[in-house]
Amino acid sequence: MPDTLPHQLARQHSVPLPSLWVHRTPRSTFYARLDADSPTDYSHRETLIETLRRGLRSALSGAADGQGAGWFHVLAVLVRTDFRARYRGQALGIVWSVLYPLVMMSIMSFIFTHVFQSTDRNFPIFLLIGLICWQWITNSTTAATSVIVSHADIIKRTIFPRHLLPMAIVFSYGINFCIEAMTLLLFIPIFPHAFTLSPALLLVPVFLFVLALLLTGIALITSGLNVIYRDVAYLVNTGLLILYWLTPVLYNDDRIPYPYRLVIQANPFSGLIVALRRAIMEGHVPSHLGWAGILLPTLVIFVVGWLVFRSYERMVLDYV
């Protein structure tokens, strides 16, 4: 056969096998050398620090234990596939995702200025920022909730890191978000006073990264749970509807009287959207308290999501 390239078919004899083994037991999965006959006897299981180091090192270069490609690459392929699949066979493709917030903004602006007699001239921009953020939140959470169920075959038959699937959904809708955000640039000449050029704009990528982290945490929780209880998809839809009105997308949270305002501020999306909007429109940097209100819930949700997904992963594999 002319295409036979034996050196490509298999790793050479001379390549040593990794010294770290993957150990799977009913209770845990861990990396260690093979130095005992019982999983309870392992003197040097990997510590948390070592796990994190291995994870970081394997991001680009391929896993240290020889298992698979670097997870960063896997994530990139999943994001690209999901993004392309969404617009395949459509004439307008990505235009749809830009059109939706613009139409929504026009309707809402009309209602608020002409029906409710709002006097804020920059209201359309205020709305648009909130709406494209919310579109990212709601689309990625809805899609990520069902991603494990809809990718059952790839989950059961290959061994790539499964938590990357919900993550990929969040990032592929992140691409949508970025494209939609470009429309904001078109509005700069129309609403010049709605934008403030200030160092606070440098914080925008930080807010977006935090939002992605928050969405990933939520996606990890809902995607795993959805395998076990298919009700979760409905619960998520209802929850998002409630959250939509508890998040200052259509209104400004300054207007809400105090005891109720706390309810709105308890919602981690509120802090992020308000901070993002104020950074763009007013050049305002959040206070220490504001930062804490954004970062703490995000970290908690991300860590909880990670742990929930890890503990459900075993069950998910049997029930998906």
Partner 1 sequence: MSEAADACATPGEPTSDLAEHVADPAAASAALDSLAQGSSGTPALRPDRELIVRFRGVGKAFRLYDQKPFLLRNLLRRIVGGRSKPKEFWPLRDITFDIARRETVGVIGQNGSGKSTLLRLMAGAAYPTTGHIAVRGRVAPLLALGAGFQPDMSGRECVQVNGTALGLSPEEIESRMDAIVSFAELAGFIDAPVRYYSSGMLARLGFAVAVHTSPDLLLIDEVLAVGDHSFQQKCIARIHEIQQAGTTILFVSHDAHAVQTLCNRVLWLRDGSLHRDGPPGPIIQEYLQATH
- Residue whose structure tokens are 């394997």: 58
Q: Which stretch binds partner 1 (CB under 8 A): 25-33, 186-194, 292-300, 302-310?
A: 25-33
Polymer length of the chain: 320
- Residue whose structure tokens are 């006073």: 193
Name which position in 143, 169, 267, 317 contacts partner 1 (CB under 8 A): 317
As to burial, measured by CB atoms within 10 angstroms (0-12 exposed, 13-18 middle, 19+ buried), residue 4 is exposed
CB of 176 to partner 1, least distance (A): 18
Name which position in 36, 99, 188, 296 contacts partner 1 (CB under 8 A): 36
Told to check if 35 binds partner 1 by CB under 8 A, we report yes
CB of 140 to partner 1, least distance (A): 19
Phi, psi dihedrals of residue 294, rounded to the nearest 5°: -90, -50
String of DSSP letters for 2-67: TT--HHHHS--TTSPPPSPEEEE-SS-EEEE-S--SSGGG-TTPPPHHHHHHHHHHHHHH--TTS-
Told to check if 22 binds partner 1 by CB under 8 A, we report yes
Question: What residues from 209 to 228 belong to the interface with partner 1 (CB under 8 A)?
Answer: 228
In Å, the largest CA–CA distance within the chain is 78
Name which position in 48, 114, 153, 192 contacts partner 1 (CB under 8 A): 153
Tokens of 98: 């830009």
Told to check if 160 binds partner 1 by CB under 8 A, we report yes
Told to check if 178 binds partner 1 by CB under 8 A, we report no
User: What's the CA gap between 312 and 316, in Å, rounded?
Assistant: 6
Q: Which stretch binds partner 1 (CB under 8 A): 46-54, 111-119, 179-187, 280-288?
A: 46-54
Name which position in 59, 66, 149, 204 contacts partner 1 (CB under 8 A): 66
Q: Residue 117: left if φ>0, alpha if ψ -120 to 50, beta else—which one?
A: left
Q: Which is nearer to partner 1, 19 or 238 (CB)?
A: 19
Told to check if 288 binds partner 1 by CB under 8 A, we report no
CB of 97 to partner 1, least distance (A): 18
